[in-house]
């Protein structure tokens, strides 16, 4: 068990900068998920922690020791690769015990840990098989077993579930979470799947183009996204971002909505937001989660805004209704997603009213995408 | 429309026919050689060649009676085996490193030694090794033959290394397996089919390499291929005996291929990655 401290780390390939300057602390026993779009540098960062990629500048410390110059095998980490990287010529048992055999651990200890890992992962009947004779999910388990057997200070996962089909992915996700609860080891997990991030993480780190866009608990990121990037990245379907213009300055905000109506928003300015960032006339984006919008008849009282139903997507327990809004139907181009009960009864093309839970809204600067405040 | 099963059958038949045609072309000289070695002196040169004749082992008996055939064979074996092993010992880590770092120039340089004809090397080498007092010994033949076997093995092995997923080796690094250990525990088992091909080709190349053995070898280290050249006489060539020698020279590589054949079955790396 150990904490991981990443201090002003830089990664360059020649003149090409992948990570300009990144600092991050991961607590002992924490499940930290690095999430972000493809190419943002998640794998690079993880591989730098593992020692598979050189560190151009800055330091990586594990358990208080700077490990920049240590070999991967001397960092006391275990890594689960996206493609599992099992040794094809060894049976499952030898795959599991390989690291310990390389380390020269006593045979009895190896035997004990291999059978423990096999039991935890329910791969005991497979121990004599070669990887070729395993299904994708079984290979995934073996790859995790290989990490468990080592009892490392830190587990590193690089998109370990992305090669599995949807059902197996959900199962293995729970398996990994169970594993973390059982071992309470420090785990760093890379994914570009925000659902995995939300379900697994103690702490989510959202990376974008090599820098940390925001970090926090899943609930914090969901409720208080720091930028429109995080707002649209975390949560599925994404947060609605409705372009509006401030009619009145920050205290007791009032926004002019796309349909021309005005709305008071109970938004409190974020600490550090300057007055001129939220003065009347500023273009903003009103952020609302799909579940905080409600569809009602267009002539119902206290509606927030009106729009036209575009598509209804029933999901079984609920339905997603895509609504377009604007000053009039022909110019209704701004899309909104509303999470609604299955039997909402609205037809495509129908004019509808939207009610909101204003106590859940967020406000972003339309220019740089930074949050101005939250309700 | 041709149905799928019949078109597949046509493909199978045509493949068989093609293999058969190639086999006939390749095998006729070999069969001719084998038959000639069993013919009496007058029969060998008869035209058109006879297929039905009274076979005799007289050529083989004469061969073993008149020349120290086994000693020559042993010389060939020593030179070929050691130069094959030496070539592999150099080529394996070399191929691993070239493939891992994806720098190709060392491989290209290694190939240059194979681009130039042997006659270009043999003169300076003769001077060099004479001065070192090495001509006529085993080591001069082993070293010069390694110049043939090493690039050959290197180029055979490269695609096998290139085909291995990087993550397997990275996983091995994390597991504390690097350098020679990694070569032994991970790389060699995974390129085994390539290794078999490299062994066979290196051995055959060294076994049949004539020039260096002729110029740099001595009486005691004469290889089979050089010795059999002596049967081509100034006046009359004893064709039967030459063919008998040729048949015997072919045997060791053939035996080697049969031994290695099982290891040639590829697909060893299956199941390492993906689902
Ligand atoms: N060897 C390299 N040389 C140059 N650039 C590289 C090299 N390896 C990676 N990169 C670049 O570094 C950036 C980050 O790559 P990285 O693999 O960390 O992305 P990622 O966030 O893991 O993406 P994905 O979700 O697709 O796996 C990419 O733009 C990639 O092109
Ligand atoms: Mg990646």
Interface touch A103/B272, C-beta < 8 Å: no
A vs B: CB pairs below 8 A: 97
Chain A residues contacting B, CB < 8 Å? 50-52, 71-73, 77-79, 81-89, 98-99, 102-103, 130-137, 139-140, 146, 150, 163-165
Q: By the 8 A CB rule, do A58 and A10 touch?
A: yes
ipTM comes to 0.84
CATH class of B67-268: mainly alpha
pLDDT of residue B169: 95
Residue of A nearest to B271 (CA): A132
In DSSP notation, A177-201 reads HHHHHHH--EEEEEES-HHHHHHH-
Ordered by start, the domain boundaries in chain B are: 67-268
Residue ranges lining ligand 1, Cβ < 6 Å: A 13, 16, 18, 36, 38-44, 192
B255, pLDDT greater than 50: yes
Which H or E element spans position A148?
A: helix A136-150
The total number of residues shown for chain B amounts to 275
pLDDT value, residue B267: 44
Supply the residue whose CA is at minimum distance from atom 5 of ligand 1: A13
Taking the centre of ligand 2 as the mean of its atom positions, its distance from the CA of residue A38, in whole angstroms, is 7
Of A159-168, A233-242, A264-273, B261-270, the poorest mean pLDDT is in B261-270
Contact residues on chain A for B263, CB-CB shorter than 8 A: none
Determine the distance separating the centroid of ligand 2 and the alpha carbon of B165, expressed in angstroms: 15
Mean per-residue pLDDT for B241-257? 89
CB contact under 8 A, A103 and B176: yes
- Report the Cα–Cα distance between both ends of chain A, in Å, rounded: 39
CATH fold for domain A4-233:
Rossmann fold (3.40.50)
pLDDT of residue A153: 92
**pLDDT above 90 for B48:** no
Asked if pLDDT for residue A48 goes beyond 90, the answer is yes
Kindly list the residues from chain A whose CB atom is less than 8 angstroms away from the CB atom of residue B181: 102
Residues in a beta bridge with A17: A12
Domain ranges across chain A: 4-233, 245-372
Query: Checking DSSP bridges between strand A65-66 and strand A211-216, what pairing results, if any?
Result: unpaired
Average pLDDT, chain B: 86
Query: What's the mean pLDDT in A322-350?
Result: 83
Q: What is the pLDDT of residue A1?
A: 65
Average pLDDT over residues A10-29: 93
Question: Does A289 score more than 90 pLDDT?
Answer: yes
Residues in chain B with CB shorter than 8 Å from the CB of A99 are 174-176
Min Cα distance A325 → chain B (Å) is: 44
Paired tokens of A202: 């103690």
- Residues of chain B in contact with residue A62, where contact means CB-CB under 8 angstroms, are none
Residue B142 in this model has a pLDDT that exceeds 70: yes
Residue nearest to atom 29 of ligand 1 (CA): A39
pLDDT of residue B199: 94
Q: Nearest Cβ partner of B173 from A73, A103, A137?
A: A73
B interface with A, Cβ–Cβ < 8 A, is: 165, 167-168, 170-178, 181, 185-186, 189-190, 268-275
Which chain B residue is nearest to residue A140, measuring alpha carbons? Answer: B275
CA of A19 to the centre of ligand 2 (A): 14
Structure token pair of residue B214? 């002729």
pLDDT at A118 over 50: yes
CA torsion sign for A292, A296, A302, A305 is: positive
pLDDT in tens, A170-218: 988 998 999 899 888 999 999 988 899 999 999 999 999 999 999 999 9
CA A158, A160, A161, A163 torsion-angle sign: positive
Q: B182, B187, B272: best mutation site toward chain A, by most A Cβ within 10 Å?
A: B272
With cut-offs at 50, 70 and 90, classify the pLDDT of residue B275: very low
Distances (CA, A) of B19 to A92, B6, B100, B210: 40, 20, 37, 31
CA of A46 to the centre of ligand 2 (A): 9
Mean pLDDT of chain A: 88
The residue with greater pLDDT, B221 or B157, is B157
Contact A234, A206 (CB under 8 A): yes
Ligand 1: which residue has its CA nearest to atom 18? A41
Range with the poorest average pLDDT among A202-211, A242-251, A325-334, B219-228:
A242-251
What percentage of chain A exceeds 90 in pLDDT? Answer: 54
* pLDDT of B237 over the 80 cut: no
Predicted local distance difference test score (pLDDT) of residue B2 = 53
At A339-372, the pLDDT tens digits run: 988 777 888 888 888 888 878 888 888 888 888 8
CB A52 within 8 A of CB A72: yes
CATH number listed for the domain at residues A245-372: 2.40.50.140
A96: nearest Cα among A160, A155, A134, A147: A147
**Confidence band of B265 (pLDDT split at 50, 70, 90):** low
pLDDT at A4: 94
B110-123 pLDDT, tens digit each = 888 778 888 888 88
pLDDT band at A65 (very low <50, low <70, confident <90, very high): very high
Atom 4 of ligand 1 has which residue's CA nearest to it? A13
Instruction: Say yes or no to pLDDT of B74 above 90.
Output: yes
Cα B147 to Cα B155: distance, rounded to the nearest angstrom: 13
Site to probe by mutation for ligand 1, drawn from A37, A44, A52 as the one with most ligand atoms within 8 Å of Cβ, is A44
Quickly state the pLDDT bin for B85 (edges 50, 70, 90): very high
Q: Evaluate if residue B57 carries a pLDDT over 90.
A: no
Per-residue pLDDT, A164: 85
- For B216, the token pair is 């740099």
Q: What is the pLDDT of residue B268?
A: 47
8 Å CB contact of B175 and A77? no
Q: How far is A341 from chain B (nearest CA, A)?
A: 38
pLDDT above 90 for B92: yes
């Amino acid at each position: 068990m150990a904490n991981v401290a990443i201090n002003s780390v830089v990664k360059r390939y020649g003149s090409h900068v992948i990570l300009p300057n990144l600092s991050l602390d991961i607590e002992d026993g924490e499940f930290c998920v690095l999430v972000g779009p493809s190419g943002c540098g998640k794998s690079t960062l993880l591989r730098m922690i593992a020692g598979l990629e050189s560190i151009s500048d800055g330091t990586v410390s594990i358990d208080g020791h700077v490990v920049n110059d240590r070999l991967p095998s001397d960092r006391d980490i275990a890594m689960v690769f996206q493609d599992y990287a099992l040794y094809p010529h060894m049976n499952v048992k030898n795959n599991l015990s390989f690291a310990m055999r390389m380390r020269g651990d006593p045979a009895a200890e190896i035997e004990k840990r291999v059978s423990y890992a096999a039991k935890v992962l329910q791969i005991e009947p497979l121990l004599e098989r070669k990887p070729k004779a395993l299904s994708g999910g079984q290979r995934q388990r073996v790859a995790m077993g290989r990490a468990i057997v080592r009892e490392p200070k830190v587990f590193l996962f690089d998109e370990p579930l992305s090669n599995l089909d949807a059902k197996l992915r959900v199962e293995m996700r729970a398996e990994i979470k169970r594993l973390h609860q059982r071992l309470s080891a420090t785990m760093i997990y890379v994914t570009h799947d925000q659902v995995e991030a939300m379900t697994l993480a103690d702490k989510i780190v959202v990376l974008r183009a090599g820098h940390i866009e925001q970090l926090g608990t899943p609930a914090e990121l969901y409720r208080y996204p720091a930028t429109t990037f995080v707002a649209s990245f975390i949560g599925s379907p994404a947060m609605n971002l409705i372009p509006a213009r401030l009619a009145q300055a920050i205290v007791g905000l009032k926004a002019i909505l796309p349909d021309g109506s005005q709305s008071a928003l109970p938004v409190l300015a974020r600490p550090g937001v300057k007055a001129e960032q939220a003065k009347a006339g500023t273009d903003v984006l009103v952020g609302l989660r799909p579940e905080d919008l409600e569809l009602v008849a267009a002539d119902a009282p206290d509606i927030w805004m009106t729009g036209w139903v575009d598509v209804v997507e029933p999901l079984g327990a609920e339905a997603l209704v895509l609504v377009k809004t604007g000053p009039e139907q022909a110019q209704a181009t701004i899309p909104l997603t509303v999470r609604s009960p299955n039997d909402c009864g609205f037809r495509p093309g129908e004019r509808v009213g939207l009610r909101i839970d204003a106590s859940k809204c967020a406000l972003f600067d339309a220019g740089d995408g930074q949050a101005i405040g939250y309700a | 429309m041709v149905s799928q099963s019949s078109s597949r059958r046509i493909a199978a038949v045509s493949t068989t026919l093609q293999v058969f045609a190639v086999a006939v072309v390749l095998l006729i000289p070999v069969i001719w050689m084998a038959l000639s070695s069993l013919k009496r002196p007058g029969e060998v040169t008869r035209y058109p060649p006879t297929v039905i004749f009274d076979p005799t082992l007289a050529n083989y008996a004469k061969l073993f009676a008149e020349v120290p055939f086994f000693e020559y064979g042993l010389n060939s074996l020593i030179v070929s085996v050691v130069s094959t092993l030496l070539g592999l010992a150099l080529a394996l880590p070399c191929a691993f490193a070239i493939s891992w770092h994806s720098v190709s120039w060392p491989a290209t340089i290694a190939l240059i030694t194979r681009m130039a004809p042997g006659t270009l090397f043999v003169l300076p080498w003769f001077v060099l090794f004479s001065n070192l007092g090495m001509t006529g010994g085993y080591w001069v033949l082993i070293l010069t033959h390694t110049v043939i076997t090493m690039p050959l093995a290197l180029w055979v092995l490269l695609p096998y290394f290139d085909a291995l997923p990087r993550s397997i080796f990275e996983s091995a690094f994390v597991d504390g397996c690097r350098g020679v250990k990694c070569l032994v525990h991970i790389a060699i088992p995974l390129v085994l089919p390539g290794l078999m091909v490299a062994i066979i080709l290196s051995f055959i190349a060294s076994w049949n390499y004539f020039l260096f053995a002729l110029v740099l070898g001595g009486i005691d280290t004469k290889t089979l291929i050089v010795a059999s050249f002596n049967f081509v006489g100034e006046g009359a060539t004893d064709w039967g005996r030459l063919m008998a020698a040729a048949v015997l020279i072919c045997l060791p590589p053939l035996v080697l291929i049969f031994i290695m054949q099982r290891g040639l079955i590829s697909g060893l790396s299956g199941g390492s990655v993906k689902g």
